[in-house]
Amino acid sequence: MKTKADFRTLCVHAGELKDIQHGGAISPLYPSTSYSFTDVKVGQYPRYFNTPNQRGLSEKIAALEGAEAGMIFGSGMAAISTALLSHLKVGDHVVFQDDLYGGTRNFVKHEFPKYGIEFSFTKGLLAEDFKKEIKENTQVIYIETPSNPTLKIVDLKAVSAVAKQQGIWTMIDNTFASPVNQNPISLGIDIVIHSATKYLGGHSDICAGAVLGTKECIERVFSSAKNFGGSLSDYTVWLLERSVKTLFIRVQAQNKNAQLIAEFLDQADWVDHVFYPGLASHPDHALAKEQMHGFGGMLSFNLAGAIDSKKFLLSLELIKASMSLAGIETTALSPHLTSHALLTEEERLAQGITPQMIRFSTGIEAIEDLKADLNQAYKKAIK
Ligand SMILES: *Cc1c(COP(=O)(O)O)cnc(C)c1O
């Protein structure tokens, strides 16, 4: 299928496998770990990322990101660690955005020193903040936008222009936006990574990751990936393909609900501040509007001082107080107590994370039910 088809059509049909034997409507599942040689050199094998289901799903997700090629991994972290290490060697340097997914931050801090790879974090999120950290040995600039949990936006065109001038690879963790809301390759970014555990899976029942880029980039990633061995079981690949078919309608519903919740919270006297790029008052609203197709399903807000944040979370009835995000069910958490608990107090405050902050992942439920749950919860949590 040509990648020029409409995004919705690609979600359903790109990369699908035909059931030639029985004419079934969906891609057959091929869980085989052994295939007879069609050519004596290269066999199909799950850890070579080249079984029929793996190739079909890679093609689908690559099509959604407008990428030449892609690979599916056993988790988002397998995708991130493999993408990074395949592009780095001892003595290289990486510039990381300061507001980074906690698991990525831990990976970098724990593993990079062992391999002699240097790194620094930006002091801000402007293109010049990235430029300032570039050194002679910088090989990769690594971005995450919208950021977690304060939903700040990085100008992808500007950062990729800085990187291109100096022959540096750019990588982005595009998990929060999903391919529905942002396609970084069209803005000049080289490698796009997803935790497919989030929007691509969308039902809180799959752990997976994806890396997308040019054929050349993906070949480089593959050359390390087959050694690290982080492939995904074909059973899960098959399930993930089913999820991606509904990606567009799910994320569109989540975008819509998030905008309505953000506007509702913005008006509420029990909320001090709302972080959502879809609000005109968000400092990066204009940039988000320019580089994104939608503002996403993620938002954060600070409860007013009179509300006990822990009690608020525990008083929610319909909305789940839970660690994960991007599922069709709405979830909320305290970054201070959970996702960002491992950071020092200083690091948290530098990112604007206080104990009053709630991170909110909007699902597809009826908006009135979500509002009613928030309203009853804050009333129970008044100090
Ligand atoms: C969850 C997440 C990851 C890690 O993905 P796993 O599938 O849990 O390994 C990476 N980046 C972001 C932004 C995430 O939300």
Residue 181: per-residue pLDDT: 98
Q: How far is the CA of 267 from the centre of ligand 1 (A)?
A: 31
Q: How far is the CA of 355 from the centre of ligand 1 (A)?
A: 22
Domain ranges of the chain: 7-244, 248-380
Say which CATH architecture domain 7-244 belongs to. 3-Layer(aba) Sandwich (3.40)
Among the four given CATH numbers 3.40.50.300, 1.10.600.10, 3.50.50.60, 3.90.1150.10, the one describing domain 248-380: 3.90.1150.10
Ligand 1 contacts (CB < 6 A) are 75-77, 101, 103, 148, 173, 175-176, 195, 197-198, 207, 209
Residue 1: per-residue pLDDT: 44
Give buried/exposed letters for 325-341 (b at 16+ CB in 10 A, else e). Answer: bbbbbbbbbbbbeebbe
pLDDT band of 349, cuts 50, 70, 90: confident
Q: What single string gives the DSSP state of each residue in 162-181?
A: HHHHTT-EEEEE-TTTHHHH
Between 337 and 173, the higher pLDDT residue:
173
User: How many helices (DSSP H) and strands (DSSP E) are in the chain?
Assistant: 14, 12
Residue 253: per-residue pLDDT: 98
What average pLDDT does the segment 315-331 reach? 95
pLDDT band of 338, cuts 50, 70, 90: confident
What average pLDDT does the segment 54-63 reach? 98
Pick the atom of ligand 1 nearest to 197's CA.
7
Pick the atom of ligand 1 nearest to 208's CA.
7
- Model confidence over 350-374: pLDDT tens digits? 888 999 999 999 999 999 999 999 9
| Averaged pLDDT score across all residues of the chain | 95
For a mutational test of ligand 1's pocket, the pick from 195, 205, 232, 298, i.e. the residue with the most ligand atoms closer than 8 A to its C-beta, is 195
Q: Say whether 248-380 and 7-244 share the same fold.
A: no
- Kindly report the number of other CB atoms within 10 A of residue 280's CB atom: 8
Give CB contacts under 8 A, 24+ apart, made by 42-51. Answer: 46/231, 46/233, 46/234, 47/226, 47/229, 47/231, 48/226, 48/231, 49/222, 49/225, 49/226, 49/231, 51/234, 51/237
d(CA 361, CA 319) in angstroms, rounded, equals: 10
Residue 296 confidence (pLDDT) above 80: yes
Q: How far is the CA of 4 from the centre of ligand 1 (A)?
A: 29
Q: How far is the CA of 24 from the centre of ligand 1 (A)?
A: 34
Residue 41: per-residue pLDDT: 67
**CA distances, 78 to each of 83, 149, 172, 321 (Å):** 8, 22, 15, 26
Entry pTM: 0.96
**CA distances, 226 to each of 10, 34, 219, 234 (Å):** 28, 16, 11, 16
Residue 37: per-residue pLDDT: 77
Q: How far is the CA of 325 from the centre of ligand 1 (A)?
A: 9
d(CA 100, CA 119) in angstroms, rounded, equals: 13
- Model confidence over 276-295: pLDDT tens digits? 999 999 999 999 999 999 99
- Model confidence over 117-140: pLDDT tens digits? 999 999 999 999 999 999 999 999
d(CA 300, CA 332) in angstroms, rounded, equals: 9
pLDDT band of 80, cuts 50, 70, 90: very high
Residue 2: per-residue pLDDT: 44
What average pLDDT does the segment 3-32 reach? 93
Q: In 123-255, at which residue ranges do the beta strands (DSSP E only) sit?
A: 138-144, 169-173, 191-195, 209-213
Q: How far is the CA of 209 from the centre of ligand 1 (A)?
A: 8
